[in-house]
Amino acid sequence: MLRQSPNTTSIFSGKHPLASLRRERPASNKPSTSGSPRYHNLLSRLVDLEAALEVAARERAREESSYSSLKEKYASTKAALAELKAEKMELEKQSEATMAKWRAHHDRQVKELAIFQQQAEEFAKLSSLRTQWAQEAEALKAECETFRSLYDSARAEAEKSKEEFIAVVEDQARSQKEMTNIARVEAEQMQARVRELEEEVEQGRSREEVRRQLERDLDVAHAALRQSEAVVQATEEARERVEVQSQREGVIHEAQLAEWMAKAAAVTSERKGLEARIEGLEKELAQAVEERRGKRVELEEAAEEIGRLREALEISERAVEEGRRKATREGEELRRAWREEKSEWDEKIERLERQVQRTETEIKELRRERLVADECLAASEENFRHGAGEEARRLRERVADLEEALEAERVRGIKVENDWKFVVRDLHRQLRGPTPPERCPHADSMAPGIGAEAEEMEATARDQSLRREKRQEEDLRAMTLLTEELEKVKLRSMLAIQKAERRADAYKSKCLELHERWKEGRLVGGL
């Protein structure tokens, strides 16, 4: 029998790594497709998330359309309120203008009535007293002119005294300013002198000389101050004298005015005496008419005069009565128009209040809908965040599994490579041959078969290493794709969440703005 070495028997035994390599060869030729179902699941999950985002976008669009419709309704209501307010202000202006016109017309009618009454009184007076009235009027006018001239002269004197007082005050102010400037200059000189003395003290002069010099300077300054105070007191006394003089002149002017008022009162009393005298003359004239009733001409003249006076009085009374009736009619028309306008405004205000109530109810409904929408949005955001978190967790677990499988495959490849290196080294050692005492007599005949088998095993090892490298590259590519998809999903989820938050903030701000506008509209309606 052939004597086999331990290495030769280990090549064909089942315990050698070559047997395990031959058993694993069919499985190594299959491609790795363990990551494709999870990748498809991830893509389906992304599609579901995009569909959920589209549903949320449609809900947001529906909410925005409802909000825009409510906003348009609120704008129309606000425009109607503004128009009603403008109409109310316009009607108030028209009513005020009408009332002012009616008041002006009423005042004009009252003035015309007073004029008619004065004309009636003038017509009632006798023509014989007109000349006397004219003479007295001329006398009164002359006295008025005299009083006016006296008043003008007194006013001119007052203006002159005022100008003199202003000039005196300005002179005093100038003199005070000059004295102040002189005192300021002297004070500056004293300060300079004090500085000089201080410098002299610093240079070594005795303190007693400095004190005496300072006392002399202070005496001079006190003398100048007393002189300035005397000047100021003199100016104050002059100003007081001027004020006393102006007050005395004012008292004199007031006395003159009182005297002129007394003269005017005397003239008024004389006028009243003349009126009483006229009344007495009228009575005497009436008595004379009764005594001279026999004289037909005077009686006819008196009758014609009385008839004319009566006609004028009747005309004035008719005009006054017509003015009263006209004023009454206009007042009734204004009252009726005011009542109609008031009723119309009451109806408009009631309609406006009802419309405001409807707007309030709509705003309350919108607020409830907004709360429901916020709750739905928060729930959808929470669900979306939860789903995105679960998906990210699953993707992270998948990436971790792939990394572990890649590491195990790398370790296994290193182990297989080491086994093949051991097999190839063993084959080369067998090809080189053992030592002379251990050499098999059939080694030369077995060497070509063993070399071919070794080459075949080496080629198989190279193929397996290439397949393993290819499979590792595919796994790395799949892991890279999964990582990229995971990052994309994270980015999309973050963008969707940010977009939803922005829309929610915008919706809340719009709702707050609408609420503020509703408050303003309610305040305007209340006003």
Task: Name the least confident of 62-66, 132-136, 290-294.
Answer: 290-294
Q: Are residues 196 and 281 in the same domain?
A: yes
Q: What is the 3-state secondary structure (H, E, C) of 171-205?
A: HHHHHHHHHHHHHHHHHHHHHHHHHHHHHHHHHCC
Q: Helix 36-124 crosses helix 443-526 at what angle (to 10 degrees)?
A: 10
Q: Are residues 258 and 131 in the same domain?
A: yes
Stretch 381-396: mean pLDDT: 64
Summarised one tens digit per residue, pLDDT across range 186-207 is 767 767 776 776 676 566 555 5
Establish if 11 belongs to a structural domain: no
The three-state secondary structure class of 1 is: coil
Establish if 504 belongs to a structural domain: yes
Domain end residue (candidates: 250, 271, 291): 291
The answer to pTM > 0.85 is no
For residue 381, give every residue at least 6 positions away whose Cβ sits within 8 Å of its Cβ, in sequence order, or none: 497, 500, 501
Checking if the pLDDT of 36 tops 70, the result is: no
Six-digit token pair at 250? Answer: 């004012």
Distances, alpha carbon 356 to alpha carbons 184, 349, 367, in Å: 76, 10, 16
Q: Are residues 89 and 132 in the same domain?
A: no
Q: Are residues 274 and 355 in the same domain?
A: no
Helix, strand and coil percent figures for the chain, each rounded to 5: 95, 0, 5
pLDDT of residue 398: 67
What are the CB-based long-range contacts (under 8 Å, 24+) for 359-364? 359/73, 359/74, 359/77, 359/518, 359/521, 360/518, 360/522, 362/70, 362/73, 363/514, 363/515, 363/518
pLDDT of residue 17: 40
Q: Helix 443-526 crosses helix 296-432 at what angle (to 10 degrees)?
A: 170
DSSP letter for 439, please: -
Establish if 59 belongs to a structural domain: yes
Domain end residue (candidates: 275, 291, 307): 291
Checking if the pLDDT of 16 tops 50, the result is: no
Buried b (16+ CB within 10 A) or exposed e, 358-392: ebeeebeebeeebeebeeebeebbeebeeebeebe
Radius of gyration, CA atoms only, the chain: 63
Q: What's at 130, amino acid-wise? A: R
User: Rounded CA gap, 444 and 17, in Å?
Assistant: 25
Tell me if 431 sits within 8 A of 451, measured CB to CB: yes
Checking if the pLDDT of 436 tops 50, the result is: no
Q: Are residues 136 and 284 in the same domain?
A: yes
Q: Are residues 488 and 395 in the same domain?
A: yes
- Exposure of 57 by Cβ count < 10 A (0-12 exposed, 13-18 middle, 19+ buried)? middle
If pLDDT is split at 50, 70 and 90, which confidence band does 5 have? very low
Give the number of other CB atoms < 10 A from CB of residue 172: 17
Q: Are residues 132 and 90 in the same domain?
A: no
User: If we measure between CA atoms, which residue out of 508, 502, 517, 374 comes closest to residue 72?
Assistant: 517
Number of independent structural domains in the chain: 2
User: Rounded CA gap, 127 and 125, in Å?
Assistant: 7
The three-state secondary structure class of 266 is: helix
Q: Are residues 144 and 286 in the same domain?
A: yes
Distances, alpha carbon 135 to alpha carbons 9, 68, 142, 397, in Å: 174, 88, 10, 129
Stretch 154-179: mean pLDDT: 74
Q: Are residues 72 and 181 in the same domain?
A: no
Residue with the bigger pLDDT between 357 and 38: it is 357
Establish if 64 belongs to a structural domain: yes
Task: Name the least confident of 159-163, 170-174, 455-459.
Answer: 455-459
Task: Name the least confident of 33-47, 99-113, 230-244, 385-399.
Answer: 33-47
Six-digit token pair at 368? Answer: 């409830």
pLDDT of residue 54: 73
Checking if the pLDDT of 262 tops 70, the result is: yes
Helix or strand holding residue 312 (H, E): helix 296-432
Q: Are residues 361 and 447 in the same domain?
A: yes
Establish if 336 belongs to a structural domain: no
For residue 241, give every residue at least 6 positions away whose Cβ sits within 8 Å of its Cβ, in sequence order, or none: none
pLDDT of residue 6: 41
Tell me if 16 sits within 8 A of 423, measured CB to CB: yes
Checking if the pLDDT of 182 tops 70, the result is: yes
Establish if 14 belongs to a structural domain: no
Summarised one tens digit per residue, pLDDT across range 47-61 is 776 676 677 667 767
Q: Are residues 247 and 356 in the same domain?
A: no
The domain containing residue 207 runs over which residues? 127-291
Domain end residue (candidates: 227, 260, 291): 291
User: Rounded CA gap, 289 and 191, in Å?
Assistant: 104
Tell me if 326 sits within 8 A of 109, measured CB to CB: yes
Stretch 171-199: mean pLDDT: 72
Distances, alpha carbon 413 to alpha carbons 19, 29, 201, 409, 468, in Å: 16, 14, 108, 6, 7
Q: Helix 17-28 crosses helix 296-432 at what angle (to 10 degrees)?
A: 140
Buried b (16+ CB within 10 A) or exposed e, 438-471: eebeebeeeeeeeeeebeebeebbeebeebbeeb
Establish if 7 belongs to a structural domain: no
Summarised one tens digit per residue, pLDDT across range 73-117 is 667 767 777 777 777 677 777 767 766 776 776 677 677 767 766
Q: Are residues 354 and 223 in the same domain?
A: no
